[in-house]
Structure 1
């Protein structure tokens, strides 16, 4: 089935939502409805329809879903369960970008009775990093360790927090405050956010990384019993973790997240001068020999439809649209819950949005070469 057989609704006209709409109209040449609680500014794009919509209004949300066969939710994480439930009730195919573990559990519980597909967590991390992790895991006869590191960060961190916002403030707070899934010594575990601080050097530049919530998506469940140690950490400029630890734990703002949001919104600027950094390492046995495979990469912003888009906008939007395209081609399950690691890297490369994530993926193996 072609993507053009579907009427697509994108919820949220923020940075990611507008990038999704641009990709759908530019790369797929298909009409899209972009809905947001705020009224739209005038435009002249015949393929793009704007809709003012408050998803907290049950009747309005139901009416919007009834007019579409597929919805991509680019709203904040706390809207995910509501929208997915409404979509499942109407048989509308559902995709989102959420990193929220609780919302994903709620969505998964809808799957056994769902007539449509439910695929949350398919942006960058969770999303593309899970596809990469699943690919690396498959390179080994016996997998010992899988370490996945991702950062969406400014190229020039000049403030005291060593950080500028490149995406959702709510998303950052959520991943810094909630427990983090991991596998430790073969057992499923929950580790604390902001802990596990480490230093890493990529192409001569020093970064730090620490535990954050949600980045693995369903990978812990997928690899349970197959890996000794699996963890995900967010990459930041050195010094950021200690500053955030002071705010969250030293000043106990983890108990006052609304106040933390106000402080961060008022003190930390947003930046469009960003980069996405990925570092992944897998260790295990191949043909009886202990081996390690590593992959690191960076992605920068690029123009799309005459506008400069950031690296996090392009990679996140490409992640979810690649999943939608692979599903439309019949390369993913057609209904029920779908995991991001069910997408193969070879299929991902061949999607229309593959160009935006190519740098994040290991080079294809040469014929007769088993290396990743």
Structure 2
């Protein structure tokens, strides 16, 4: 049985614990600075817990010393500290961060590491990159690669057309930080909440706009190989305009703790959500201009006897699948591992990756990806 540490006992961390411990293949230690959060874990997981501060990499490394891998589910501003501790402890490192600056530090830590460093293992970045790369490999010449992801309430009932479904800090960060993209063949940064577009899917209208971090390392991988590459977050129409007013006109992008307090006390959370994944790739194939698209929806469902939101399931199952693939020797065991290095077929065949879509969609997409 592999020993794994999960740092962070929040919405995503607790779901990771349920999945890994529930599989019977992992002995899980959960570390969080909040004893209250640890006490709220599902007792069925039978995970070990440790309440301790995680800002000190040296102290954290001692708690991680006998672990095969560390799954970092802590807030994005603690990413580099947990990564440093994992390296000191000699453990494999995985995280879920969408924060571009933190991921660059993780990449530097991986350069001389004797273990694997695999950041950005969630939904976006994470699975969205794996799916896009699988489609992109079908083309002789790439023109446009468009990635769209949204975690949305199924029953929106406020002016924002939104409910809190995951980390408030993470939402604010991706709405505020610059976004990587390739535009007309050139790698550049584009502003968040801009380039808003509308599209319809099965009769429902959505908007999508620039947000930070969703591409992972795909910009670097496809630099010089694609005309346009971008990532945008899906919301219901009207959301971007209100958020721009809050962040720009009222200046709350410079008062993030206040914005977090406002959102968490005014916007209800929900478990009744849907995750929409929409990837479109176009280019030349056998002398013809072609397009391939992958669309999927994932809904809330029970995990280990508790209903988990769709964003919890998609984020947690993705990183758990990568842990499994690492343990099975299907991924390199040292250095920096990109999401593009993870095979889609292996991912979807994994016991955790199977949470990602119904079996008929797995089969259809796997056939198209091979």
**Taking structure 2 as the reference length, what is the TM-score of the superposition?**
0.94
Q: What secondary structure is seen at the aligned counterpart in 2 of 1:242?
A: helix
Is 1:37 matched up with 2:33? yes
Distance 2:267 2:351 in 1: 35
Q: Relative to structure 2, which stretch is displaced further, 45-54 or 281-290?
A: 45-54
CA distance in 2, matches of 1:81, 1:186: 31
Aligned to 1:227: 226
**Pairing 1:124-273 to 2, within 5 Å after superposition:** 124-273=123-272
After superposition, what is the alpha-carbon deviation per residue over 1:64-113, rounded to whole angstroms, capped at 9, x for unaligned? 11132310000000010011012112221100000000000011111121
CA distance in 1, matches of 2:283, 2:145: 9
For 2:234 and 2:43, how far apart are their aligned partners in 1? 40
SS of residue matched to 1:227: coil
Distance change in 2, residues 1:246/1:169 (3 Å): same
Structure 2 stretches lacking a partner, 5+ long: none
**2:283 counterpart of 1:292:** no
1:202, distance to aligned residue in structure 2 (A): 0.9
Name the CA shift for 1:362/1:77 in 2 (closer, same or farther; >3 Å).
Answer: farther
What is the correspondence of 1:265-284 to structure 2 with a 5 Å cutoff? 265-284=264-283
SS at match of 1:149: strand
Q: CA shift at 1:260, angstroms?
A: 1.5
Give the deviation of 1:61 after TM superposition.
Answer: 0.9
SS in 1 for 2:60: helix
Contact 2:294–2:365 (CA<8 Å) still a contact in 1?
A: no
| Per-residue deviation, 1:158 | 0.8
Q: 1:14: which partner in 2?
A: 10
Q: Cα deviations across residues 2-55 of structure 1 (Å, max 9, x unaligned)?
A: xx3x31000111111111111112224432111211223287547411221210
Supply the distance in 2 between the matched residues of 1:9 and 1:245 (Cα, whole angstroms): 38
- 1:332 is displaced (CA, Å) by 1.5
User: Residue 311 of structure 1 aligns with which residue?
Assistant: 310
Q: Distance in 2 between matches of 1:365 and 1:335?
A: 28
CA contact (8 A) 1:148 1:231 kept: yes
Q: Which residue in the other structure is 1:91 paired with?
A: 90
Give 3-state SS (helix, strand or coil) of 1:193's partner. coil
Structure 1 position 221, deviation (Å): 0.7
SS at match of 1:66: coil
5+ unaligned residues in a row in structure 1: which ranges? none
Is this contact kept in 1: 2:17–2:45, CA < 8 A? no
Task: Give the Cα separation in 1 of the matches to 2:172 and 2:69.
Answer: 29
Q: Secondary structure at the match of 1:51?
A: strand
Aligned-residue CA RMSD (Å): 1.7
Structure 1 length-normalised TM: 0.94
Q: How far off is 1:364 after superposition?
A: 4.1
Pair 1:24 & 2:20 matched: yes
- Aligned partners of 1:344, 1:35: CA distance in 2, in Å? 30
Moved over 6 A (4+): none
Alpha-carbon shift at residue 350 of structure 1 (Å):
1.4
